[in-house]
Amino acid sequence: AQSVSQHNHHVILSEAASLELGCNYSYGGTVNLFWYVQYPGQHLQLLLKYFSGDPLVKGIKGFEAEFIKSKFSFNLRKPSVQWSDTAEYFCAVYLRGAGKSTFGDGTTLTVKP
Amino acid sequence: DVKVTQSSRYLVKRTGEKVFLECVQDMDHENMFWYRQDPGLGLRLIYFSYDVKMKEKGDIPEGYSVSREKKERFSLILESASTNQTSMYLCASIPGGISNQPQHFGDGTRLSIL
């Protein structure tokens, strides 16, 4: 069965530190990849997505992610985090043809001011 | 902008009750999903539907059923609620046949079973 692994369950950073959240998936077919963010008390919303083309994708609020097909990875990065980035981040893999997504367990990011 | 509305933000029910969670979307999306979100476990798919009266089991369907009588509405039913079904429930929708679109989520229903 397909699975999505997020390596860090809880990350604590100071403002201006750089961020990298890992995401690996196990599925041999064609996938679309997403990062969602859930700010405290809010619904999940899209941060960025990849489905084809340039493997380096840029999202909202200065986030970017790189798809490395050979490593089955889609890591999320931000060069300088802000206190307002405190949230839970979910990696998701959409399996084309299956009509559904598999989510990772989530990473809680706490940014200290 | 797509709006996915879940009928309740908070719900408290008793063990053994039949519980209905309602979800409505306003963008004529074909596909709708029900997840539960638990700390450390991420989102787990319960059921999804790709058309009216159609349903597919997700990863954790046991103890749940669904109903999709109209395109815009997708209901999750707990046939006989148990304490291990205490959780946050999320509904989502997506256009059918377009695999590069993100899911649109509702605000969630935090359900407590006593």
- Model confidence over B35-73: pLDDT tens digits? 999 988 999 999 999 999 999 999 999 999 999 999 999
> Contacts for A18-21 with beta carbons within 8 Å, 24 or more apart?
A18/A77, A18/A78, A18/A79, A18/A80, A18/A81, A19/A76, A19/A77, A19/A78, A19/A81, A19/A85, A19/A109, A20/A75, A20/A76, A20/A77, A21/A75, A21/A76, A21/A77, A21/A89, A21/A91, A21/A107, A21/A109
Minimum-distance CB partner of B106 among A43, A46, A99: A43
DSSP state of A29: S
pLDDT of residue B99: 65
Neighboring chain B residues of A90 at a CB cutoff of 8 Å: 42-43
List, for residues A56-109, the tens digit of each pLDDT value: 999 999 999 999 999 999 999 999 999 999 999 999 998 877 778 899 999 999
**Could you count the other beta carbons within 10 Å of the beta carbon of residue B14?**
11
Give the residue among B12, B13, B89 at the shortest CA–CA distance from B46.
Answer: B89
> Which CATH number goes with the domain that contains B61?
2.60.40.10
With bands split at pLDDT 50, 70 and 90, how would you rate the model's confidence at A50?
very high
pLDDT of residue B98: 63
List, for residues B67-109, the tens digit of each pLDDT value: 999 999 999 999 999 999 999 999 999 887 666 788 999 999 9
Span A40-69, mean pLDDT?
93
pLDDT of residue A86: 97
Could A99 and B105 be called an inter-chain contact, meaning their C-beta atoms sit closer than 8 Å? no
pLDDT of residue A31: 86
Number of H helices, E strands in chain A: 0, 12
Domains identified in chain B, total number: 1
Neighboring chain B residues of A44 at a CB cutoff of 8 Å: 90, 92, 103, 105
pLDDT of residue A28: 76
- Cβ of B6 under 8 Å from any chain A Cβ? no
Above pLDDT 70, what percent of chain A?
Answer: 99
Query: Is the pLDDT score of A8 beyond 90?
Result: no
Minimum-distance CB partner of A43 among B40, B41, B107: B107
Report which of residues A113 and B83 the model is more confident about: B83
Beta B42-49 vs A100-103: how paired, if at all?
unpaired
Span B13-30, mean pLDDT?
95
The residue range of the domain holding B15 is 4-98+105-113
CATH 3.30.540.10 fits A3-112, yes or no: no
pLDDT of residue A100: 84
Instruction: Record the tokens describing residue B34, joined without a space.
Output: 């029900």
Segment holding A26, helix H or strand E: strand A23-26
pLDDT of residue B66: 97
